[in-house]
Amino acid sequence: MADEALTESLSGTGGVAAAAEVWVWVEVEDARPAEVSLELLGRARELADLLGTKVGAVVCGAGVTDLGPSLIAHGADTVYAADHPDLAAYLAQPYARVLTGLIRVRKPQIVLYGATTAGRDLAPRIASALRTGLTADCTDLRIGGHHTRDRDYQDLLWQIRPAFGGNIIATIVCPDHRPQMATVREGVMRLPEPDEQRSGRVLLVPVTRAVELHEADVAETGDADQGDDGDRIGPLFLRPEDFTVALLERHKEAKRVDLKGARVIVSGGAGVGSADGFALIRELAETLGGVVGATRAAVDAGWVPREHQVGQTGTTVRPKLYIAAGISGSVQHRAGMDQSARILVINTDPLAPIFSVAHYGIVGDLFKVIPLMVAAYRRKGGAFAAQGADQGSRAAGGPAEGAAR
């Protein structure tokens, strides 16, 4: 079971080599795994099953060994815990040193990172040190083949992301270098339900801070002393120059908008017309007990703050009810909300692309329709919202169930 995970040390000799695993770097926030890391574990589990291999979760910090059972429950087979006081707070150089050394020893075929501030800082450093490729801000990951003029490649990681300002969707492969690495946006992968019956093991990664330069030179990359069985490594040395930057104080601002956790989202687009027009969007959201979303066009126009943006370049959401008002429906916006359980569209253009993902559509002026919705909701005591939101979910990309034209 996940809470009975076997804990071993990588400096021991009795383990099984982790050749060609699929890895996820687990970011830690307030002593808990970041949600994007758990989302990636779910997708890594799917990729590893297709490849016939195992999933590794790499976590760095102080006191992180206790996170092992949770990571195993979310899909990891092996948790590599680099537990050391000097790793208590994220610093790019020490973390890159540990991850680079561990990758060189264990040789995973795929390493995934959340496209967070830390992930975007860490992943390029590791890719540069390992001379491998890295695709940033992926929105999908798959396994597939690739054909060149003189060679066929199988079981490559397809790294899928928007390109050229989001006008096309590009599929990128890294056929000749390992590991294949990608950062993935938060929310684009579904968060798996934890399975407390899963079994796995936690391997303790030995980390030592080198106090003398010659000691660091002996084990510069941390991959010295690998045993014949492929599972014995010496400690990963943190060098003095890894600590040229120190964390003096940390100030954390509370999140003002929680789009990912919202059950109801009311979003406005260019059709809202102005910042004043968003007062009507806000009124409907407050009436329904939801939050305000927006398209990139509305954000770029300065009508709402950027943290409200929904879409590939904003936040990917899956609420119970998503109301799109004055939104034409670019492919980037639809990709960020089309997994919502119920989608209601209000637009004056019956041919707007947003109707292609709608369950219910109203062709009309949002400035006339929304006041009627608010009044009707208040008269009926809000019963219809809870009923409509909980009727179930549709398959991704399916046709709209109906639209009022």
Q: What is residue 402's predicted lDDT score, i.e. its pLDDT?
A: 41
Task: Express each pLDDT in 285-307 by its tens digit.
Answer: 999 999 999 999 999 999 999 99
Instruction: Tell if the pTM clears 0.75, that is, is over it.
Output: no
Say yes or no to pLDDT of 73 above 90.
yes
Three-state SS for 273-327 is: CCCCCHHHHHHHHHHHCCEEEECHHHHHCCCCCHHHEECCCCECCCCCEEEEECC
Residue 213 included in any domain: yes
Whether the pLDDT of residue 256 is over 70: the answer is yes
Is the pLDDT at 32 greater than 70, yes or no?
Answer: yes
Q: Are residues 116 and 171 in the same domain?
A: yes
Q: Are 292 and 323 in contact (CB under 8 A)?
A: no
In a domain, 181, yes or no: yes
Q: What pLDDT was estimated at residue 280? A: 94
Residues 214 and 273 in one domain: no
Element (H or E) spanning 383, and its range?
helix 383-389
| Interval 107-115 mean pLDDT | 94
Same domain, 100 and 178: yes
Indicate whether 237 pLDDT > 90: no
* Mean pLDDT in residue range 303-332: 90
Residue 59 has pLDDT above 90, yes or no: yes
Do 135 and 6 fall into the same domain? Answer: yes
The 10s digit of each residue's pLDDT in 346-396 is 999 999 999 999 999 999 999 999 999 999 888 876 554 455 455 444 433
Residue 398 lies inside a defined structural domain of this protein = no
pLDDT value at residue 233: 53
Q: What is the CATH number of the domain that holds 99?
A: 3.40.50.620
**Domain count of the chain?**
2
Q: Out of 176, 211, 243, pick the residue that ends a domain.
A: 243
71 and 182 fall within a common domain: yes
The DSSP symbol for 85 reads G
For residues 205 and 98, give the distance between their C-alpha atoms in angstroms, rounded to a whole number.
Answer: 9
- Provide the residue range defining the domain that includes 78: 2-243
Of 112-116, 212-216, 268-272, which range is least confident? 212-216
Considering the domain architecture, whether residues 160 and 31 belong to the same structural domain is answered as yes
What's phi and psi for 146, nearest 5 deg?
Answer: -150, 135
Asked whether residue 135 is domain-assigned, the answer is: yes
- In tens, the pLDDT along 140-174 reads 899 998 888 888 888 899 998 877 766 678 899 99
SS3 29: strand
Q: How do 28-29 and 32-33 pair as beta strands?
A: antiparallel
